[in-house]
Amino acid sequence: MRTAGAGPRVVSLVPSLTEAVAVSAPGVLVGATEWCTHPAGLDVARIGGTKNPDVAAITALGPDLVLANEEENRAPDLAALRAAGLDVLVTEIRTLDQGLRELERVLAACGAPRRPRWLTEAEAAWEAVTPVGRVTAVVPIWRRPWMVLGSDTFAGDLLARLGVRNVYEDHPERYPRIPLDELRATAPDLLVLPDEPYRFTANDGPEAFPGTAAALVDGRLLTWYGPSLAEAPQALAWELTRALRAARR
């Protein structure tokens, strides 16, 4: 619950930022989306989704600041919030370095009392990362139709730091739709299947790529910028390595 004098009143439209602010500046959040699942038990008003926030409900909360992201949130919604007289901070995060800088900016704007330990640990963890090897990968994010990571994505940058080259890293689109036959024809060393936004599982995804090593990964570790960044390099490397080793048996 929010307490008096806890700092600015903040509404977050981005799950990653919600978690980062909640653990680093307790008490400032007064609203978040239905998709803001971390930290567990967060007790704030829910104001719709990332793509369909309830502008009237947000305005009624009287926030000093609304947190958004240029990819997660729609420009018309952000324009409507500004038209209602609200201050909207929009982040742009396409790489790890950008993410770390933007997190610093967001936390400062939210009145975090100090640089959080998790942010320092995240920087150190990624600086010390050991690549899993020089491997190629296809990274689906949806099926029916199949969509994959393309160019200029945060998740692609994290994978590159782990020694994984996204087959579609030079595609003109960031999240292209690619027919399944074309995906298979690239013959990647590895298939990386996150559990969000599409929830790939052992029985839903790998079967479409017979004979290809498949790593099922926690989407929060691959796509979220926040406290999960501290554990992400080790956890992702372990999962990718396990999938590659299993395929070689």
Locate the domains of the chain by residue range: 10-115, 125-248
- What's the whole-number mean pLDDT along residues 81-105? 97
CA distance 79 to 88: 9
The Cβ of residue 60 has, within 10 Å, a number of other Cβ atoms equal to 12
Average pLDDT, the chain: 95
The reply to whether 125-248 shares the fold of 10-115 is yes
pTM for the structure as a whole:
0.92
Q: Express each pLDDT in 188-242 by its tens digit.
A: 999 999 999 999 999 999 999 999 999 999 999 999 999 999 999 999 999 999 9
CB 140, CB 200: distance < 8 Å = yes
Say which CATH superfamily domain 10-115 falls into.
Nitrogenase molybdenum iron protein domain (3.40.50.1980)
pLDDT at 172 over 60: yes
- Say which CATH topology domain 125-248 has: Rossmann fold (3.40.50)
The Cβ of residue 70 has, within 10 Å, a number of other Cβ atoms equal to 13
Q: Which pLDDT band, with edges at 50, 70 and 90, does 248 fall under?
A: confident
pLDDT at 1 over 50: no
pLDDT reported for residue 157: 97
pLDDT reported for residue 7: 78
Tokens found for residue 186: 């690239």
pLDDT reported for residue 58: 98
